[in-house]
Amino acid sequence: MDDEVEDDLRALTKHQFESSDEEEAAYSGKLSDLEGDSDEDEDEDDEPLRTGDVQELQFSDSDEDNAKAGEGDEDEDEGSDIDSDDSDGPITAKNIEARSRRLEQRAAEDAELERAEANYAEPTEAFFKLPTAEEREKEKTTGGPDVQEVQMRMAECVKVLNDFRSLAAEGRSRSEYTEQLISDIASYYGYNEFLAEKLFELFSAIEFFEANEVPRPVTIRTNTLRARRRDLAQALINRGVNLEPIGKWTNVGLQVFESSVPIGATPEYLAGHYMLQAASSFLPVIALAPQPNERVLDMASAPGGKTTHMSALMQNTGLIFANDANKARTKSLSANIHRLGCKNVVVCSYDGREFPKVLGGFDRVLLDAPCSGTGVISKDASVKTNKTERDFTLLSHLQKQLILCAIDSVDASSKTGGYIVYSTCSVTVDENESVVDYALRKRPNVKLVDTGLEFGVPGFTKFRGKKFDEKLSLTRRFYPHVHNMDGFYVAKFKIEKRQKKAEPKEEGNDMEGVVLTEEGLTKDGDAPAFDDAEDATYIAGEDYLADVIRR
């Protein structure tokens, strides 16, 4: 009798597990928990019941499908409450479906909890309260909260500004959060509020300020007049220097990670095989691309990294005028020129605004203009606090004068050149796009061309209500938090002859050989000299500007 009952149970169990494909799949998902199972049953069908896969399924379904599935589960669960106590027992045909549903429900709850934790960003009064303007002023006099609280407050302000509609406190405006964030940035990173706000307008992100707290990589430029990069790298490696090429965009740069010897005192350095030089300062020379046997002007050349780079590209041919208004700085300039073996360089010391009166007719001109240094804050932290609105105004005026002088110093009829590159180690629009746009308006015979640089962010064509020439997208910006190099700006111009013929010569007319241009009368179509009266409104604070250009 017992044998018959046992046979009936075995048949019933077999019928339950073979009744449908769905049940077979459900059962096979837990076959490994049963004794005596064959390998044939452990197939791919066991995958859906793993917790991770159930969770993935929940994410891939639509909300509507999940809602319908939930309704069905509720109905089925009502009929399986009797099985709820079997969760810790063995799997049987009776409880396997209920346990599978509970597993899916638990996975869905876990997924929802994880999503809630990941997306939790709503500031509450319990841990974040936006200070009022009066409280901010009081903080400035009392010293304010500790660093951790300021850091937390910056993070919360960023979250709110990213989703202002959902996260902002009632009655508080976007400008209040922005003002608080700028105030905290200035306090946390050590900027004056004027400069913090000016830079925040550009980036609206903390990454730029964070990047300025980290030193830029040490880089060197191979002097191809005396060495090959491969040979130089091997020689320095043998001396205990860990280095590698900077990138595909330059075939002369090396980045130094660590060195067991002073990198500025090796025999190779003293022999002029390389120059310690920031990677960003390679860029304007690459853009200018001076050719052998050309006549080139470097208007602000000290300490000589760009001058010697141009000399190497020109293969020690042609002629380079290396000018710097600060006579004291020409000593280090001359020393580097001699150390690197540059024989085609003449050093001079003129105020850049005296060109082209003293010298002109160049095939190419490089103007790495005096600037605020907002791109090199990681090297000079004093920039954080010593720059005011007046500094940017006067620097912009000086740069506008210098760029016009540089343009007028170029020989527009040069067969190989007729180019000028304008660059700064600043990231502000006042010193970059505004200056370039001004030059395009004042010199209609000038146009922007592609820099030839393989990377970089396009220049602004509009900024905070100001519209610039559309061609400014050809200029390039470089940021420390994006390109891991000093902040830099590069623009390249092509100078063209712009003239129209004078009236036909009458008897006794002495206008022969004179060409009428929009700038005035010039002999034989030469480029017009810089006219001081043209920029009278910008020649303000003359003593201050003269001091700046000599620095």
- Known catalytic residues are 425
Annotated binding-site residue? 322 = no
Annotated binding-site residue? 375 = no
Of the candidates 525, 256, 546, 284, which has an alpha carbon nearest to the alpha carbon of residue 419?
284
What φ, ψ does residue 451 adopt, rounded to 5°?
A: -75, -20
The residue type found at 482 is: V
Annotated binding-site residue? 324 = yes
What φ, ψ does residue 193 adopt, rounded to 5°?
A: -65, -30
Altogether, the residues listed in the chain come to a count of 551
Annotated binding-site residue? 121 = no
d(CA 36, CA 198): 74
Give every CB contact of residue 179 below 8 A, 6+ residues apart in sequence: 133, 136
Contact 131, 139 (CB under 8 A): yes
The residue type found at 310 is: M
d(CA 367, CA 360): 14
**Residue written as token pair 């010193």:** 431
Annotated binding-site residue? 351 = yes
Q: Can you read off the two tokens belonging to residue 228?
A: 């090959």
CB under 8 A, 24+ apart: contacts of 267-274:
268/227, 268/232, 268/235, 268/236, 270/339, 271/226, 272/223, 272/225, 272/226, 272/339, 272/340, 272/341, 273/222, 273/223, 273/226, 273/227, 273/232, 273/235, 274/220, 274/221, 274/222, 274/223, 274/227, 274/232
How crowded is residue 447: how many other Cβ atoms within 10 Å of its Cβ? 15
Q: Can you read off the two tokens belonging to residue 453?
A: 């640089």
Which residues are bridge partners to 410 per DSSP? Answer: 362
Of the candidates 468, 471, 461, 396, which has an alpha carbon nearest to the alpha carbon of residue 428?
396
d(CA 392, CA 166): 38
Annotated binding-site residue? 73 = no
Annotated binding-site residue? 306 = yes
Annotated binding-site residue? 302 = yes
d(CA 355, CA 530): 8
Annotated binding-site residue? 108 = no
- Buried/exposed 38-72: b ≥16 CB within 10 Å, e otherwise: eeeeeeebbeebeeeebbebbeeeeeeeeeebeee
Annotated binding-site residue? 279 = no
Summarize the annotated binding site for S-adenosyl-L-methionine as residue ranges: 300-306, 324, 351, 368
Binding-site residue set: 300-306, 324, 351, 368
